[in-house]
Amino acid sequence: MKGMTIIVRKVTQFIAPIIFLFGLYIVFYGHLTPGGGFAGGVIMASAFILQILANGEILDKLRQEESGLEFLESGAILGFLIIAGLGLIISSSFVFFSNFINKGIVGKLLSAGMIPLENIIVGTEVCAAITTIFIALVVFKDEVAL
Amino acid sequence: MIPFILCLILFLIGLYGIITQKNLIKIIIGLAIMEYSVNLFLIMIGYIEGGTAPIFAEKFHLNNYVDPLPQAMILTAIVIGLATTALLLAMAIRLYRKYGTFDIRKINSLKG
Amino acid sequence: MNAWIPLYVVIPLASAFIMAILGRLVKNMGKVILLIELLFLTCLTLVFILNSKGTLSYNVGGFPDVGDIPIAIYMVMDGLTKLLLLIISAVGFITALFSISYTREYTAERKFYILFSLMIAGMNGMVISGDIFNIYVFLEIAAISSYILVAFGVEKHQLEASFKYQVLGCLASLLILLAIGFIYWGTGTLNIADISRQLPYSANFIKFVSLLFLVGFGLKAAIFPFHSWLPDAHSSAPSPISAMLSGVLIKAIGLYVIFRLFFNMFALNADIAMTILVLGTLSMIIGGLMAIGQWDMKRLLAYSSISQMGYVVMAVGIGMTIMVKDGSKTIAAFAFLGALLHLLNHSVFKSLLFLNAGAVEYSTGIRDMRKLGGLAEKMPITSKTSLIASLSISGIPPFNGFFSKLIIILAAVRAHYYWLAFLAVAVSVVTISYFMKFQKYIFYNKPGEYDNQIKEVPAPMSIAMVILALLCLMLSLMVIPSIRDQFIFPAVNVLIKNLQYSTAVLG
């Protein structure tokens, strides 16, 4: 895939980190404000997608990225399952998805027990998944054109 | 009542698209429109005239907030919709590679 | 025992992603993990069936009920669930054993097992969930993985069948989601047990929502007017997947939910009962008649699936109409016994037949019955096991199909539906005729022209087929009262005592 003009590339360089940071904010404040893992993950993925669109990529490199992202994605889901399954082991009454960490004060960043952790994992997973989907479609399209 | 009727119309537009269109991509767009109409319907179920966001904060009144459960349901439905749409598009690209067309009248190796 | 219930979802889901990570480091890791996982689940289900009586419920997250309103997501394990879980994990195990050598030809072999495991997770979650929205979520997990698995070989016809299946499947899912929205609007809850207590007694509302559910899950279960995707999808898929789709998936994501919703959630309704009876009868007849004319062996089997599912739906319809009219409970129980026994038997012999077709295709590379023939001597194990399965599905004693069909026909007679009994016998004769065609053209006709030397399939495939053939014989034992009471009767009880579900779950 070919990249775009120098103007687009330069602007992307400035904007993409800010978009990524905004996504991170949405993920980390997921238990306090609207948003959360999924919304933040999509925003984070859009930063990567913007980079790929603006700069263009070499197909072989994209394929490498795809397999790396697949690894991250599976890892994130496994992490989520481990957090959910910890409840089965740790809590005394075998509760799946039990929120056994201290819940803190309502409205503070470090509160709500497991939920911020789960949000972060969901954010990673969604970011990886959406980028994978995008890359897969790009690779497919280029294969068709050949 | 009017939003619900509009929602129904949106649903029917999507259904019309699936039934009449001959292009794979347009069929997928029809499905997406139907999905949005269902999501819209779900979010209207929980809506309250003049209600606040269901966030547990200082100005929170117990009897005046929109129902958060349909919102959670829609979020899940959107994620699922994303997966199905992406899969449908991937299939459409693959089909294009095999048949060289998006026209469903020409994609007919299965019969009987 | 309760703490083991979430494992039905956790284990397949976790092993799918462990396969995704470890599978690239160690070759054939996926196969080992999948087999261990399914064997464990089968054993766990057997333990559940033999040890626990009554309904077990488990709330995820440990949130207690507020007053008598359930807050947590419920997982419910009762007789019907246990029967379905046994079918899913046992047939899944045998099919996975078959796929070990079948999938060698695929380049992305690793992903096959990941998707297989995800499909198992979806079906298990669906069967075990006591919450209508979670049923939708797990339905989509199972359905999306099955869409991909149908197109796994990436050939022309597979992609086309998968696309057709996906469009209709998405339509069905949207109708189900819409119906869930209406249910939530009417009752303000998503828990099936709670909904059944709170449904408003407006007959029109309930009829409208029931219709949406019936169309949605009817599309998934391929009941008659909604069956058009099934022959394409089930015949194009790789053979182990065809066996899973026909043997397990349409039951777990289609029929099971129809039973659960129309018995335990909605109050029984004369119109819906009549609709189910008529649709079941029609799909029984039309599936059977369409199967006769097919020359593609897997397509014949797929149409036969529609017909055999018609038997199950018809028997359930008979029981429903009796219960609506406050007729004799014993006759209704007899009809349900027939239906569930046929459900269990069909999952065994239909998956065996698809595996046989897969074995023939594996050896010869041909699916058209006119070009095959004379394989009985060259592939003795495939030939003998498929003979057993054909006899079984046609209802020849002493195989299992005979007993379940007999019970269905007797139930129709005892309920005074003489014409239904006649139709069931007639379709059974049709079934014999098209399976005679299946046997004659593949195994006994004059030998076809093959490019290469025909050999018997590798050991794992033969072992899988032999196990299923033995199960065809052994499941006849299900009519012995003590075994029947252990395995089938708890499931029949769920359908007969339909109003006790909510008290059993919520206490």
Question: Which of A70, A74, A121 has the highest number of chain C CBs within 10 A, making it the mutation to test binding with C?
Answer: A74
The CATH number, out of the four listed (1.10.8.50, 3.40.630.20, 1.10.287.3510, 1.10.760.10), of the domain defined by the range B2-99: 1.10.287.3510
What residues make up the domain containing C385?
A: 2-506
Question: Contacts of residue B86 in chain A, CB cutoff 8 Å?
Answer: 133, 137
User: CA–CA separation, C432 vs B102, rounded Å?
Assistant: 42
**What is the amino acid identity at position C374?**
G
Q: Which chains touch A (3 or more CB pairs under 8 A)?
A: B, C
**Terminal Cα-to-Cα distance of chain B (whole angstroms):** 45
Structure tokens at C350: 């239909």
Q: CB contact, 8 Å: C178 with chain B?
A: yes
Please write the tens of the pLDDT for every residue from A7-37.
988 898 899 999 999 999 988 888 887 778 8
User: How far apart are the CA of B112 and the nearest CA of chain A, in angstroms?
Assistant: 30
User: CA–CA separation, B42 vs B45, rounded Å?
Assistant: 5
For C60, the closest chain A residue by CA position comes to A96
CA-based max dimension of chain C? 73
Please write the tens of the pLDDT for every residue from C77-134.
888 898 999 999 999 999 999 988 888 888 888 888 999 999 999 999 999 988 899 9
CB contact under 8 A, A75 and C18: no
In this predicted structure, what is the pLDDT of residue C69? 81
In this predicted structure, what is the pLDDT of residue C155? 84
Please write the tens of the pLDDT for every residue from B25-52.
999 999 999 999 999 998 888 888 877 7
Give the model's confidence band at C189: pLDDT under 50 very low, under 70 low, under 90 confident, else very high: confident
CB atoms within 10 A of CB C240: 28
The DSSP secondary-structure symbol of C23 reads T
In this predicted structure, what is the pLDDT of residue C475? 86
ipTM for the assembly:
0.93
CB contact under 8 A, C61 and A93: no
Q: What mean pLDDT is predicted for residues C213-220?
A: 91
Radius of gyration of chain A from its Cα atoms, rounded to whole angstroms: 18
Radius of gyration of chain B from its Cα atoms, rounded to whole angstroms: 19
User: CA–CA separation, C461 vs C351, rounded Å?
Assistant: 13
In this predicted structure, what is the pLDDT of residue B53? 75
In this predicted structure, what is the pLDDT of residue B37? 92
pLDDT at residue C53 greater than cutoff 80: no
Q: What mean pLDDT is predicted for residues B85-108?
A: 85
pLDDT at residue B111 greater than cutoff 70: no
Q: CB contact, 8 Å: B12 with chain C?
A: no
Q: What mean pLDDT is predicted for residues B89-105?
A: 85
Please write the tens of the pLDDT for every residue from C427-463.
999 999 999 988 888 888 777 777 667 777 888 888 9
How many residue pairs bridge chain A and chain C with CB atoms within 8 Å of each other? 44
CB contact under 8 A, B31 and C171: yes
For chain B, the residues whose C-beta falls within 8 A of a C-beta of chain A are 53, 55-57, 75, 78-79, 82, 86, 89-90, 93-94, 96-97
With a pLDDT cut of 70, the percent of chain C lying above it is 99
pLDDT at residue B9 greater than cutoff 90: yes
CB contact under 8 A, C17 and A81: yes
Please, which contacts does C41-45 make with residues 24 or more away whose CB atoms are closer than 8 Å?
Answer: C41/C8, C41/C11, C41/C12, C41/C85, C41/C88, C41/C89, C41/C92, C41/C120, C41/C124, C42/C86, C42/C89, C42/C90, C42/C93, C44/C4, C44/C7, C44/C8, C44/C89, C45/C82, C45/C85, C45/C86, C45/C89, C45/C90
Q: Which residues pair with C59 in a beta bridge?
A: C74
In this predicted structure, what is the pLDDT of residue C493? 85
CB C282 within 8 A of CB C210: no
Structure tokens at A146: 């050949």
User: CA–CA separation, C17 vs C21, rounded Å?
Assistant: 6
Q: Which residue has the higher pLDDT, C376 or A13?
A: A13
Question: Contacts of residue A140 in chain B, CB cutoff 8 Å?
Answer: 90, 93-94
Question: Contacts of residue C151 in chain B, CB cutoff 8 Å?
Answer: 91, 94
**What is the amino acid identity at position C453?**
Q
**Average pLDDT value over all residues in chain C:** 87
User: CA–CA separation, B44 vs B62, rounded Å?
Assistant: 20
CB C209 within 8 A of CB C183: yes
Structure tokens at C432: 């014999």
Q: What is the DSSP string of C114-171?
A: HHHHHHHHHHHHHHHB-BHHHHHHHHHHHHHHHHHHHTTT--HHHHHHHHHHHHHHHH
Nearest by CB to residue B56, choosing from A106, A136, A144, is A106
Q: What mean pLDDT is predicted for residues C195-204?
A: 79
**Cis peptide before C398, with omega less than 30 degrees from 0?**
yes
In this predicted structure, what is the pLDDT of residue C40? 92
* Domain count for chain C: 1
In this predicted structure, what is the pLDDT of residue B57? 66
In this predicted structure, what is the pLDDT of residue A43? 92
User: How far apart are the CA of A130 and the nearest CA of chain C, in angstroms?
Assistant: 16
User: How far apart are the CA of B61 and the nearest CA of chain C, in angstroms?
Assistant: 20
Half-sphere exposure of B100 (CA within 13 A, CB side): 1
- List C-alpha distances in Å: A87 to A9, A46, A75, A142: 47, 34, 19, 46
The DSSP secondary-structure symbol of C456 reads P
Question: Contacts of residue A112 in chain C, CB cutoff 8 Å?
Answer: none
Q: CB contact, 8 Å: C154 with chain B?
A: yes
